[in-house]
Structures are given as structure tokens and as C-alpha cells.
Amino acid sequence: MNILVIQGPNLNLIGVKSAAVGERVTIDKINKALRRHVRNRDIDLKILQTHRIDRALTLLHRNRNRADGILLAPMAWSRYEYSLKETLSLINIPVVEIYFDTPFSFGSSADDSIFSEVCIQTVTDHPLRGFITGLDCLLQYLKEHRTN
């Protein structure tokens, strides 16, 4: 199973937010937790953190025939990036979107998201739990819809 993980603008700076509240959450820790979570399972994660929408779109276009699901942390893109919404709609691959609880929020939330109508689920949680929960939701959805 092939899962794309797209982490939007400034997510590489999650460590700055976490340090402000006395935690040590970093993008590397999130990515390691995701990889550890799928270890010894037939799941391939392709992870991209980018500030540039063209890189995210290129990843989606190039992998649209191989990817089984998408885990998306859109950050600021959730309010205005209609080209990403259109691409997600066109490629028709199940998407779970991830947002963070306060104090980790980047100012965007599920309430602001333009992606909600193209996603199978939205998860709002602590960054480490949110990505794992989102991945589990996506994998469960794929399991249920592959056997039916």
C-alpha cells in the first residue's frame, strides 16, 4: 500500500511552537513516528514537507496512479489553495486532513478548511497523535473499501 504524506508550509517549524510550551515535537519526530507505526507492514510512506504548492501538486500528479491514500497537513493552504483542492478532487484518492490543537495550531483549523468536502475525514489533535490517528483512519478506510 502506498501512502503520500504532504506536510504544508512552516510545518518544519513545529519545534518552535512546541518549545514555547515545553515540549519537544519536531517534524523529524513526527516522521519517525509515522515510519515506526507502519514498520513491518506492507505500507510505503512517501513524505514531503514543503512551502511550495507546485512541489505538492507535482508529487500528487506523479503518484496519482500509485498512491492508495493521502495524509494531508495543509497548514495555511487550508484557506486559499484551490489548485490543491482541485487536484485532490480530480485524482480521486482518499484524503485525511490533519490539524493541530492549541497551542500547536498554525492559525488554521478544520473550520477554515476548503478541503473538507474532498476529504474522507478530518483529525484535530496533538501533532504526534494527530498524524498517527489520521494514518490509522486512512488505513481503516482503505481496508474497508478494498474488501467491499
Pairing of strands 69-73, 2-7: parallel
State the residue for C-alpha cell 482503505.
142
Look at the pTM and tell me if it is higher than 0.75: yes
What would the pLDDT profile of 68-108 be if each residue is shown by its tens digit?
999 999 998 999 999 999 999 999 999 999 998 865 666 66
Q: Are 91 and 64 in contact (CB under 8 A)?
A: yes
Domain ranges in the chain are 2-78+103-147
The pLDDT-based confidence of 147 (bands split at 50, 70, 90) is low
Superfamily classification of domain 2-78+103-147:
Dehydroquinase, class II (3.40.50.9100)
Task: State in Å, rounded, how far the first CA of the chain is from the last one.
Answer: 17
